[in-house]
Amino acid sequence: MAKPTIVLLRGMFGVARFLWWEYFHGAPKMLQDMGFTVLIPALPWGEPVAVRGAFLAGYLKDIPGPLHLVAHSMGGIDARRYITHLGGHEKVVSLTTLSSPHRGSILAAQAMASPFSPWRHIHSVADLTPAAMDRFNAATPDMPGVIYRSYSAARPLCDQPWWVRPYGRQLTAAEGANDSQVSVTSAVWGEHVASLSADHYELIGSHFWLNPFRRRPPFDHLQLFRDIGLWIQQEAGKAPTGT
């Protein structure tokens, strides 16, 4: 049986590393230590889903399966485009999304509606409005043979970093529980594994709490990725897969 490969997909503004900051904060090494081949494609920053999906298809063109995609935020939407429209279903066994906006976000809609919002000039944002994602979902059915799993996340407003709390407040009013960037309702796709007590950034190990006067319950992102790795190992052991 071919050795499973995990492809970690970053979100809209994801960069691999900046100074001491790393996007997935130790998860790639941990997964490698578990015996996986781990790939992290550099998806184009802020570009539309069509562009990012095409880049992903090109990156994985000569990578043999079986592939297991693990995607944070917008990376999950890019992955779905690749799987359904660009041949990914031929070698992808599973897609696990971490707080991906499968049903869009009111935040994106508000940004596009405001002539004063700098976010409306970023191509990715237009693709993540609820209306745009309705069209995307209608045109992008799940593919037979691919396992779709999702994790959502939510923190109470008082436990969200102060600098993103205004976004969390807007999401709470419009969509309910959220992680400051994506609501639980929007993040559910396929098998909903769990709703995690984390903000959007804690899912990848970034802690931007910045409040020395109050502690909040910690979140262990490495345990999340370990659980995903264990599930993939279990799935890989069921039967020969891949090409």
Give residue limits of the domains in the chain: 5-236
Cβ density class 198-213: b for 16+ within 10 Å, e for less: bbbbbbbbbeebeeee
* pLDDT one-digit tens code per residue, 173-212: 999 999 999 999 999 999 999 999 999 999 999 988 777 7
pLDDT tens-digit map of 11-36: 987 565 554 568 999 999 999 999 99
| For residues 163-167, average pLDDT | 95
Query: Which pLDDT band, with edges at 50, 70 and 90, does 117 fall under?
Result: confident
Question: pLDDT tens digits, residue range 74-115?
Answer: 999 999 999 999 999 999 999 999 999 999 999 999 999 988
Kindly state which CATH superfamily the domain 5-236 is placed in: Alpha/Beta hydrolase fold, catalytic domain (3.40.50.1820)
Q: Is 33 exposed, middle or buried (0-12, 13-18, 19+ CB in 10 A)?
A: exposed
Q: What is the tens place of the pLDDT at every residue in 222-243?
A: 999 999 999 999 998 875 544 3
